[in-house]
Structure 1
Amino acid sequence: MASLRLVAALAPSPRPPPPTPRREPRRPPSAVRLTSGVALAAAAAAVAAAASPPALAALSEPANALSLPTWAVHVSSVAEWVTAMWLVWDYGERTGIKGWKGLSWGMVPLLGGAMCACTWHFFYNSESLEVLVALQGALTVIGNMTMCIAAYRIFKASQESSKTS
């Protein structure tokens, strides 16, 4: 019996199976990560506001202060606009059609208008910052025109490419 143990101990052991190649996990696209991050931040802000200590609740704000849900809409709208700008730019990169990048540039004035609105609201619609309201209106008009021009250029490029095909 002892000799069998000795033979078993000296016998070569079977080789372990070769390791399987490890695949890297697929990461979601950047836009999905950005959107999920914005949603997570909004949810965290809502939880923090609901669980705020009584000392914070005692702070008074002016009557024209925006509520937390209204701020969530403002911030998420800006985040969505930035995401849309990035997606339009990325589409232009992938397709090689420069008009889509132009559309992304045409969206910039509207982003500036949104920033003006958020800044004005952040300071409780202060009369000393009324210029931001006028600037927001001007940027909205300019942004609508630049996006219209960019969309027309995309249309013309698609018409030309369909004629050559």
Structure 2
Amino acid sequence: MHALSIPTWIIHISSVIEWIAAIWLIWTYGEITGNRYWWALSAAMLPALVSAMCACTWHFFDNLDSLEWLVTLQASMTVLGNCTVCVAAWWIWHCTRQKDPNKIDKSI
């Protein structure tokens, strides 16, 4: 556990807690509004959470060479998470445009 300083650990752990809170808040917002596409965004955020947990786990065990596969998993989950959040954001945009087809972006 000596791989990171205490302030760095605080940042790592608080980031994971914040991400969990964001997932929960977005899910709750979807329940309150009845818009299920928000649930898709909260589910799309899970690979990024797995990525963060991989990083914390690897650092917790002092960056052991035997756990280096976690680095690959973390990188893969980051890419997957970025893609899933992008698709979920597009889905939210698409669904909100369908609800009001008369909305025309006049800023173009």
Return the offset for 1:163: 1.7
TM-score by length of 1: 0.60
Structure 1 residue 154 corresponds to structure 2 residue 95: no
CA RMSD of aligned residues (A): 1.5
Q: Paired residue for 2:81?
A: 143
> Match for 1:137: what amino acid?
A
Return the offset for 1:67: 0.9
Distance 2:102 2:96 in 1: 10
Q: Paired residue for 1:93?
A: 31
Q: Paired residue for 1:133?
A: 71
Return the offset for 1:140: 0.5
Q: Secondary structure at the match of 1:125?
A: coil
Structure 1 residue 70 corresponds to structure 2 residue 8: yes
Rg larger in 1 or in 2?
Answer: 1
Q: Secondary structure at the match of 2:100?
A: helix
Q: Paired residue for 2:54?
A: 116
**Residues 70-104 of structure 1, C-alpha deviations (whole Å, 9 max, x = no match):** 10000000000000000110111111111100000
Q: Paired residue for 1:81?
A: 19
TM-score by length of 2: 0.90
Distance 1:164 1:93, change over 3 A: farther
Which 4+ residue blocks in structure 1 deviate beyond 3 angstroms?
Answer: none
> Match for 1:85: what amino acid?
I
Task: Report the identity percentage.
Answer: 52
Distance 1:151 1:93 in 2: 17
Structure 1 residue 106 corresponds to structure 2 residue 41: no
Q: Paired residue for 1:26?
A: none
Distance 2:15 2:63 in 1: 19
Distance 1:154 1:100 in 2: 7
